[in-house]
Amino acid sequence: MFSYPQDRSCPYQPSPGYQELGRGGPLHKVSLWDGRSIWMVTGHATGRKLLADPRMSADRSRDDFPVVLPRFEAPIFKPIAIIGFDPPMHDVHRRMLAPDFSLKHVREMRGEVEELTGRLVDDMLRKGPPADLVEDFALPIPSMVISQLLGVPYDDHEFFEAKTVGLLQAKDAAGAQAAGQALWDYLDGLIGAQGQAPGGEGVLGRLAGRTDDKDLSREDLLRIALALLIGGHDTTSQMIALGVVTLLEHPDQLAAVRSDPDVLPAAVDELLRMVSVTDVSGVRVATADIEVDGEVIKAGEGVLVSSSMANRDPAVYEDPYTFDVHRGAGRGGAAAARQHLTFGFGIHQCLGQNLARMELEVAFSTLVERIPRLRLAVPVGDLPSRTGGTMQGVHRLPVEW
C-alpha cells in the first residue's frame, strides 16, 4: 500500500507519488509509519464534504485518532487546544479568541508589521549579501507578531522559536514532549505572572484573569497559548520562505506582481494554493459510517485531507500545476482564488488566516519593492529542505542580490 507521508522533490509541488495517486480518484487508502491504514483525500469536493461533516472528530485524545507521525504520540499533543477539540468546547474557545483574530484587529496591526518588516530589510541591506532569508526575514516577522498578539516577551524569541521547531520537527515522541514541556513551563510562568498583575498585553493579558471561568481553566489557557504560539509562527514563516522561492522561480509572475500592486492579494492566495505549506488541510477520525463517493468510511477509520492535492483538483483549477497570479482576476476572482484548502475548511478553518494573509502581503511586497535584484544563492534543488514530515519548509534560504 502507498505509504504516507512522502517527500516533495520540488518545494512548491506535491510529491510525485501524491500526484500519481491523485490521478486515480479522490479517495485512497494509505499506510502510516505505525502500520495503520487511513483514507487520504485528494479531491477538492470530497475534502470539503468530509471536513464539514460533524461525524468527523478532531479530538486528538481519542484512542482511534490517527497518529500521522511518531512525534504526535507525545502527550503534549493530546489534546491540543481548539484544533484538537470537537464542539461544544471547540466553539467556546474559538469564540473567546475571535476578537484578537478579526479583520478589524488585523488591519490595526498592519502598520506595525510594515514597520518591522522594513527594519528587517534595512538590516539585511546594511549587512549586505548573502543572507539567510529564514533567519533574517521569514522567521522574525510571524514570531514577533505572534508574541505581541499573545503577550509573550519577544526578548524570549530564541527560546520559543527553538522549542517550537524542536516540538514540530522532533524525530520521536520523547523529543517532542521535552520541547513541548519546556514551552509549557515557560507559558505557565507567564500566565502566573499575568494572573497576579491583570490588565497585561495580548491574549494572555486579556484571558489570564479569567481562568476561574467555568469555560476556561488555567490548563485550557495554557493549551490555547501553546496552540497559538506553535500554530502561528512556523506555518507563516515557512510560507514566506517557500513563497519567495516560488516567486523567484517564476520571473514572469514576479514581474506581474511588481508591475501591479493590485495583484498582490490574489497572488498571495495563489502562493498559498501552490505551496500548501502544511500539506494537510485536516486529520480526522470518523465517529460513524460515512458514505462518500461510492465508498464507506467506517466508524473509527482515520481520514487525512491533502491540501496540496485538493488544491490541484482539475475539476476546480484549470492547469492546476501552473503558478498563475492572475487566476483570481476577473469577476468573482477573489472568491475563486480563496477556495483553496490551505487553511482547511469547516469549523476548524484556520483562525489565523486574516493575520497570515496580512503578514504574507507585507512580506512579499516589501521584498519585491526594496530588494528588486533578490535571487537564490544556490540552485533550488540544493536548498536544505525539510524531509520526513508533512509540514514543508527549508532549514535555511540562502539569497543574494
Q: Which residues bind ligand HEM (CB under 6 A)?
A: 58, 82-83, 94, 146, 227-228, 231-232, 235-236, 239, 277-278, 281-282, 342-344, 348, 350-352, 355-356
Q: First vs last Cα of the chain: how many Å apart? A: 46
- The Cα-based distances of 4 to 26, 40, 156, 229, 382 in angstroms read 16, 9, 36, 27, 24
Beta carbon of residue 207, minimum distance to ligand HEM (angstroms, whole number)? 14
Cβ distance to ligand HEM smaller for residue 144 or 356: 356
Beta carbon of residue 283, minimum distance to ligand HEM (angstroms, whole number)? 6
Cβ distance to ligand HEM smaller for residue 98 or 296: 98
Residue nearest ligand HEM (C-beta atom): 352
Cβ neighbours for 393, distance < 8 A, ≥ 6 positions apart:
234, 238, 241, 242, 277, 385, 386
Element (H, E) at 313: none
Q: Are 26 and 46 in contact (CB under 8 A)?
A: yes
Cβ distance to ligand HEM smaller for residue 15 or 235: 235
Beta carbon of residue 240, minimum distance to ligand HEM (angstroms, whole number)? 8
Cβ distance to ligand HEM smaller for residue 219 or 382: 219
The C-alpha atoms of residue 269 and residue 199 are separated, in whole angstroms, by 36
The C-alpha atoms of residue 355 and residue 252 are separated, in whole angstroms, by 28
Residue 385 gets which letter from DSSP? B
Cβ distance to ligand HEM smaller for residue 305 or 371: 305
Beta carbon of residue 278, minimum distance to ligand HEM (angstroms, whole number)? 5
Cβ distance to ligand HEM smaller for residue 26 or 282: 282
Beta carbon of residue 379, minimum distance to ligand HEM (angstroms, whole number)? 25
Beta carbon of residue 341, minimum distance to ligand HEM (angstroms, whole number)? 7
User: How far is Cα of residue 238 from the mean position of the Cα atoms in its chain?
Assistant: 8
